[in-house]
Amino acid sequence: MRIPASHADLVECPPVAALTTLMPDGSPHTSVVWCGADVHLDVLASKYARRPIRYFGDVVPADLATVEVPVLCRIRPVRVVAAAW
């Protein structure tokens, strides 16, 4: 499937992601998410800041690295809905 021309600019803009799951009653719940592992977090944080930074220490307190274990997950969508605002 191809990205519709009306949404092709999303490939060029800074990466932003949201994860939507369905609650037991069928209503949607959407959360902004960061994707996984330490190195990936540094790359993502640097892209958002448009300069080299470290996730642990520059974005969140460095001591969180001792209690958080980043995990990189790949999620395969079963359906994509594009909405124009």
Predicted confidence (pLDDT) per residue in 36-45, tens digit: 777 888 998 9
58 pLDDT band, cuts 50/70/90, is very high
Residue 61, C-beta contacts closer than 8 angstroms, at least 6 positions apart: none
Q: How far apart are CA 56 and CA 46, in angstroms?
A: 12
Whole-model pTM: value is 0.48
pLDDT for 85 equals 64
Residues 32-43 as b/e (b if ≥16 CB within 10 A, e otherwise) read eeebeeeeebbe
Amino acid at 9: D
Average pLDDT over the chain, rounded to an integer: 81
